[in-house]
Amino acid sequence: MSLYEIAQNQWRHAAELMELEPWIATILSEPKNEIRVNFPVQMDDGHYLLLTGYRVQHHNILGPYKGGIRYHPQVDIDEVKALASWMAFKCALTDLPLGGAKGGVELDPKQHSKNELMRITRRFTHALGENIGPDYDIPAPDMGTNAQTMVWMMDTYINATSAHDRFAMRGVVTGKTLSCGGSLGRDKATAQGTVYALESWAERRGFNFDGATFVVQGFGNAGSWTARLLCKKGAKLLAASNSRGVVYNEKGIDPDALLAYITKHKDPSGFSGAESIPDKQLWQIKADILVPAALESQIDGGNAGDIDVKVIAEAANGPTSPAADDVLREKGITVIPDILCNAGGVIVSYFEWVQNRKNERWELEEVDRKLRRLMTVAYDAVEETGKRFDLGQDTRTAAYLVALERIQAAYQDRGIFP
């Protein structure tokens, strides 16, 4: 099954249970727009590279399209369509007035200098042209992109508009640096949302984070922040990985020291605070919490049987294959599904967008308080809906049901034009 087929099956299963009106299912069956651009960029050594970028806009019934931009060698139209679909349902689930989109460029950012990445980003933004805009489609960071990438996108976009409108156009992207209109708390938002979701899970089970153990796959933005926030709550990081290596220490790893090491050396393997272990062993470590925070389809029929944790918090998008979902349910492992678990990123992106529109700067305490509220409300809605449909451990389907009920209500009220 392709990634997009997996994404389709997830919402279609929920659609059948709730008897979603067939005409709405028909509309949702394909994204509204699939944009593909090929654009040339000059490299530092003078040669030219022709790159391919995508932007897929799933639907905008609830508000402007919204979703990240990924730089990764595996980016292709199928992956971007799946990611756009997940964004659309995530925004609906968390009740944001936003639709869903995703974009990406097929490249390995590790192979490019900062100047090359700037030229790639500016050229890609220019190629997207009017397909993005602060009231139309608002990108954000994802894998391989960051606050700097967003500032380059914003700067390129606003320089193509009239001088009078430039300031008002800052909200064309979110996840910017603080000096360029970003929001406090956006850097840790995805992880903070994941931790709030875990708190909701823990509260219902009387689970205590103090002394609890966890494992993180993907020590980037989402993964490293989740590790730092969980350690602050007294939990112990047993193992962490990135694309280059995996490290383990049964006594616990200091996430700040590991991050500092990775920032300097890229590969965690030589980190003195832990031992290097083979990739596969990451999934076999007994812990309370597992946080996949890297790519899609990392937990599959092959390794799901080895997993020995109480809860999987999907900070990544689509980390669990359908076959793995079945195995995990049989084993009684709770999955906090991606469209709920990692929604903190888009929620604080929404806050940034609102602040840009109002020309305000919210305190971190306010951002966190509002984020906690939206995450808790969404978590409760998933629990309530799961009970209403008697779904047991199938939290993923429950999350899609909440989203689909909101999307259906909007389509029913509006109908289609003409």
Q: Among the residues of 184-284, which ranges form H helices?
A: 189-205, 221-232, 255-265
Give the span between the Cα atoms of 46 and 402, in whole angstroms.
Answer: 52
The reply to whether 102 belongs to the active site is: yes
Nearest CB to ligand NAD, comparing residues 20 and 352: 352
Q: How far is the CB of 255 from ligand NAD (least distance, A)?
A: 13
Write the single-letter amino acid at 287: A
Lay out the sheet containing 65-72: strands in order across.
Answer: 33-42, 48-59, 100-106, 65-72, 137-141
**Half-sphere exposure in the Cβ direction for 298 (13 Å, CA):** 25
Coil, strand or helix at 192: helix
In the block, residue with structure tokens 């300031």 = 167
Q: Are the CB atoms for 109 and 144 separated by under 8 Å? A: yes
Give the span between the Cα atoms of 345 and 352, in whole angstroms.
Answer: 11
Nearest CB to ligand NAD, comparing residues 180 and 391: 180
Nearest CB to ligand NAD, comparing residues 190 and 408: 190
Nearest CB to ligand NAD, comparing residues 75 and 316: 316
Give the span between the Cα atoms of 175 and 72, in whole angstroms.
Answer: 18
Write the single-letter amino acid at 128: L
Q: For ligand NAD, which residue has the nearest CB?
A: 220
- Judged by the rule CB under 6 A, the positions of this chain that interact with ligand NAD are 141-144, 190, 217-223, 241-243, 293-295, 315-317, 342, 345
Nearest CB to ligand NAD, comparing residues 223 and 255: 223
**Half-sphere exposure in the Cβ direction for 284 (13 Å, CA):** 6
Q: Which of 66, 102, 176, 188 is catalytic?
A: 102
Q: How far is the CB of 292 from ligand NAD (least distance, A)?
A: 8
Q: How far is CA 165 from CA 90, 132, 182, 347, 379, in A?
A: 31, 15, 18, 26, 39
- Burial grade of 180 (CB within 10 A; 0-12, 13-18, 19 or more): middle
Burial 249-276 (b: 16+ CB within 10 A, else e): beeebbbeebbebbeeeeebbebeebee
Q: Which residues are catalytic?
A: 102
